[in-house]
Amino acid sequence: MKGSARRLFATYAVVSLLPVLVLGALLVALTSRQSHARALAQVRAEAQLLAGTVVTPRMQGTSLSNGLTATEEAALKQSVTSAITSHEVLRLRVRDLTGHVVFSDDGKIDGGVDDEALEAARGEIHAALTTLGADDNQRTGPQVVEAYVPLRALGADRVIGVVELYLPYGEIAAQVQSELREQMVVLGVGLLVLWLALLGLATRTSRALRTSAEDNLFLARHDALTGLPNRSDFLTRATRAVDDGPAVIALLDLDRFKQVNDTLGHAIGDRLLVELAGRLSDHLREGDVVARLGGDEFGLVLRGVSDEDEAVAALARVRALIAEPLVVDDLPLAIEASVGFVLVPADGRAVDVLMTKADVAMYAAKRGHLPPTRHQPGHEQYDATRLRLVGELADAIENDQLVLHYQPKTDLSLGRVTAVEALVRWQHPVLGLLYPDAFLLAAEQTELVEPLTRWVLDNALRALSRLDSTGELSVAVNFSARSLSRADFADEVLEALIRTRTSPRRLLVEITETALVADPTRAAESLTRLAHAGVRISIDDFGAGQTSLGYLAALPVHELKIDRAFVMAMDSDPRNAAIVRSVIDLGHNLGFSVTAEGVETASVLADLQAAECDSVQGYYLARPADENTIRLRLENARR
């Protein structure tokens, strides 16, 4: 690269010198021609002056065809001799109008007729360079100027003859030469400067071009935001790794990143990506690869890892690294990642196939909230279904394929059902009844979740009057982070209440803890508006996220719903029981009512009662069921 650039530069230097030299030669020729012309003009003026002072005053104004009068000749001889003596003139002759010599300083009045003499007789001055003695065919004499000047009668404009003069040119020539030398020096310096400027410009331009070419090369291989290798570079490196021996190829996708972007803005989304990219590249070993494949997706190659457990452990460390909260505007922003991976060469050697498998495994991990997941043959079927479902969901909403199931919530101190939670299902014409985990995650990543949420809210509120005419039952509706991030979220909910003539007291808005974090400011605004109108707010899946307690205490919250994972495990793990008990205490201390969901056994129910939990929900008490089943159950209970 360097050597070829130098060669190119040398070629350019030589090539650019050529036009500069041609230009120089042209300018030299032009300048010297002009100086000579100037010198000649000067000599002509001098000749005219000499003719006027040396010859004209000695003439009496008569025609010269008969030669000079004696008086004229004597006077002329004297003044010419003195002019020659003082070196003003070298030779001088006077000719008549026919060109014949009538006076010569050397006394010879023979000699032929010159064309120049005839021109001068017609009134034109003629001056040219020649050598003294050229007329006598002596080519080597000193340079002189031969001039023919019309001789006019004194006081009249009439031409009476021609004065032929030979003037010394040496002095003028010397002056012209020295002027010319000066001009040449200026010209030479100017051209040199021009050439150097051209070279400088060329160097600068080529350097800029080289840098931009290098930049382009970098950009072609790297992601502009994070500076990590991009997808195409990742594929190249992954291919190399596959050839080199055992390795892990992993795909990592951030969970809910789109919500962060949509709710907190792209600037914060970008900051998050840059930060995570930094963490990942700092963490990896020499030879490992991390690349940004697009959006919120990263690719990893871990070399030398051949064992599944080892891979899971390494990737779990990567996940933990990503989960460390990033503080944005004083609020910790926690993001999680789903990771799918394949082992090379156990899962294959073709990079495109390996990438697809890792992708499928990654979606399986995302769907199941699983730790880093290795690809398994069963994953594909599931994944194809998931993608097809998203495509069909829009029609499903329009064609009333969605149904609501309701799960009762029991107040432990009253000993009766005070609310039902509306849970959406999809009665799919081919696949049968689908549960939220089959389609909701995908819907939440698209706009589709909006019409879905509106449908659920409207139908749950309408069902409420059919389920209970006494007006005591409430309905809980789940909202996703995307809904919560809308500016008109509160308005839409309040409008639905008006449309269905439902008292705001009978609606419980369930928001997951993680949805709150996505846009805390806007969430607080919307929830406060709803609470003012009388709607109750419930924090769903509490304990699974990382909400700051200070933030939570400032929200108009009515209820905490303990994540069912803790509740279900109370039996088997005393630590979970302890967590549940402390959440109940915490909720009470903050003035919230506490609900435990996922109550599957009598012993868990007893423990919750002992811990003074306010409400419970779970398979042990009632499974979610369709509207009719729930209505009959509620009627029976009332009787």
- CA dihedral of residues 627, 628, 633, 639 (deg, nearest 10): 120
Query: Minimal distance in Å, beta carbon 598 to ligand C2E?
Result: 4
Query: Minimal distance in Å, beta carbon 600 to ligand C2E?
Result: 4
Residue 479 touches which of Mg ion, ligand C2E, none (CB < 5 to 8 A by kind)? Answer: ligand C2E
Residue 348 touches which of Mg ion, ligand C2E, none (CB < 5 to 8 A by kind)? Answer: none
- Identify which of residues 373 and 453 has a Cβ nearer to ligand C2E in the complex: 453
Q: Would you state the structure tokens that stand for residue 525, as one six-digit string?
A: 């605004």
Query: Minimal distance in Å, beta carbon 483 to ligand C2E?
Result: 7
42-61 mask for Mg ion (x: CB under 5 A)? --------------------
- Identify which of residues 109 and 625 has a Cβ nearer to ligand C2E in the complex: 625
Q: Does 541 bind Mg ion (CB under 5 A)?
A: yes
- Identify which of residues 379 and 405 has a Cβ nearer to ligand C2E in the complex: 405
- Identify which of residues 308 and 600 has a Cβ nearer to ligand C2E in the complex: 600
- The DSSP string of 211-244 is HHHHHHHHHHHB-TTT-SB-HHHHHHHHHHHHHH
Query: Minimal distance in Å, beta carbon 383 to ligand C2E?
Result: 19
- Identify which of residues 89 and 517 has a Cβ nearer to ligand C2E in the complex: 517
Query: Minimal distance in Å, beta carbon 484 to ligand C2E?
Result: 10
Provide the phi-psi class of 265: left if phi over 0, else alpha when psi is between -120 and 50, else beta. left
- Identify which of residues 81 and 603 has a Cβ nearer to ligand C2E in the complex: 603
CA distances from 188 to 141, 198, 200 (A): 33, 15, 18
Residue 146 touches which of ligand C2E, Mg ion, none (CB < 5 to 8 A by kind)? Answer: none
Q: Would you state the structure tokens that stand for residue 325, as one six-digit string?
A: 């909260």
Chain residues that interact with ligand C2E, rule: CB under 6 A: 407, 423-424, 435-437, 440, 453, 456, 478-480, 510, 540-541, 564, 597-600, 617-619, 624
Angle at 45 between CA 41 and CA 50, to 5 degrees: 145
Query: Minimal distance in Å, beta carbon 578 to ligand C2E?
Result: 20
The only residue of 226, 410, 478, 526 in contact with Mg ion, by rule CB under 5 A: 478
- Identify which of residues 184 and 544 has a Cβ nearer to Mg ion in the complex: 544
Query: Minimal distance in Å, beta carbon 451 to ligand C2E?
Result: 12
Angle at 508 between CA 506 and CA 513, to 5 degrees: 175
Residue 619 touches which of Mg ion, ligand C2E, none (CB < 5 to 8 A by kind)? Answer: ligand C2E
The only residue of 146, 510, 559, 627 in contact with Mg ion, by rule CB under 5 A: 510
Query: Minimal distance in Å, beta carbon 626 to Mg ion?
Result: 18
Q: List Cβ<8 Å contacts ≥24 apart for 588-594.
A: 588/612, 590/549, 590/552, 590/553, 590/557, 592/557, 592/558, 592/559, 592/560, 593/558, 593/559, 593/560, 594/559, 594/560, 594/561, 594/562
- Identify which of residues 519 and 541 has a Cβ nearer to Mg ion in the complex: 541
Query: Minimal distance in Å, beta carbon 493 to Mg ion?
Result: 16
Residue 480 touches which of Mg ion, ligand C2E, none (CB < 5 to 8 A by kind)? Answer: ligand C2E
CA distances from 236 to 233, 242, 282, 391, 533 (A): 5, 10, 21, 33, 58
Terminal alpha carbon distance of the chain: 92
Residue type, 45: A
| Chain centre to alpha carbon of residue 461 | 49
Q: Is 437 helix (H, G, I), strand (E, B) or coil?
A: helix
Q: Does 540 bind Mg ion (CB under 5 A)?
A: yes
Query: Minimal distance in Å, beta carbon 564 to Mg ion?
Result: 6
Nearest-angstrom CA–CA distance, 480 and 294: 25
Residue 303 touches which of Mg ion, ligand C2E, none (CB < 5 to 8 A by kind)? Answer: none
- Identify which of residues 261 and 478 has a Cβ nearer to Mg ion in the complex: 478
- Identify which of residues 272 and 440 has a Cβ nearer to ligand C2E in the complex: 440
Provide the phi-psi class of 541: left if phi over 0, else alpha when psi is between -120 and 50, else beta. left
Q: Is 615 helix (H, G, I), strand (E, B) or coil?
A: strand
Question: Could you tell me which residues come within 8 angstroms of residue 303 by beta carbon, excluding any fewer than 6 positions away?
Answer: 241, 244, 245, 246, 247, 285, 287, 288
- The DSSP string of 496-538 is HHHHTT--GGGEEEEEEHHHHHHSHHHHHHHHHHHHHHT-EEE
List residues binding Mg ion (CB under 5 A).
Answer: 478, 510, 540-541
